[in-house]
Amino acid sequence: MEIEFWWLLALPLFFALGWLAARIDIRQVVKESRSLPRSYLSGLNFLLNEQPDKAIDAFVEAVRIDPHTVELHFALGSLFRRRGETDRAIRIHQLLVDREDLSEEQRLQALGELGQDFLKAGLLDRAEAVFVRLRGTPANDVALRYLLEIYQQEKDWAKAIDVAQALPQHESHLWRTEVANFHCELAAAAMANSRPDEAGGHLERAFVVNPRSVRASLLLGDLHAANGDDEAALEAWKRVENQNPIYLSLVAERVMEAYGRRGLVEQGHQLLSAWLSSHASLDLLDELFHWEMEREGPKAAYELVREELRRNPTLLGLDKLLEAALLAAPVEQRGDIELVKQLIHGHTRRVARYRCDACGFKARQFHWRCPACGGWETYPPRRTEEFDLVP
pLDDT at 386: 57
Q: Is residue 126 part of a domain?
A: no
Query: Does 356 carry a binding-site annotation?
Result: yes
Please state, in angstroms and rounded to a whole number, the distance separating the CA atoms of residues 318 and 349. Answer: 13
Q: Is residue 281 part of a domain?
A: no
pLDDT at 173: 61
Per-residue model confidence as pLDDT tens digits over 281-313: 777 888 888 887 778 888 877 777 778 777 777
Please state, in angstroms and rounded to a whole number, the distance separating the CA atoms of residues 86 and 126. Answer: 13
pLDDT at 290: 81
Q: Is residue 198 part of a domain?
A: no
Q: Is residue 199 part of a domain?
A: no
Per-residue model confidence as pLDDT tens digits over 106-120: 888 888 888 998 999
Q: Is residue 391 part of a domain?
A: yes
Q: Is residue 213 part of a domain?
A: no
Q: Is residue 358 part of a domain?
A: yes
Q: Is residue 377 part of a domain?
A: yes
Q: What is the DSSP code (8-state) at residue 169? A: T
pLDDT at 172: 67
Residue 376 belongs to domain spanning: 353-391
pLDDT at 160: 93
pLDDT at 40: 46
Task: Count the domains in the chain.
Answer: 1
pLDDT at 338: 72
Please state, in angstroms and rounded to a whole number, the distance separating the CA atoms of residues 346 and 28. Answer: 71
Query: Does 184 carry a binding-site annotation?
Result: no
Q: Which amino acid, 132?
A: V
Taking 50 as the pLDDT cut, the residues of the chain under it are 1-3, 6-11, 13-14, 17, 19-36, 39-41, 43-50, 55-56, 59, 62-67, 389-391
- List 376's β-bridge partners, or say none: 369
Please state, in angstroms and rounded to a whole number, the distance separating the CA atoms of residues 342 and 320. Answer: 12
- List 369's β-bridge partners, or say none: 376
Q: Which residues contact 271 (CB under 8 A, 6 or more apart)?
A: 238, 255, 259
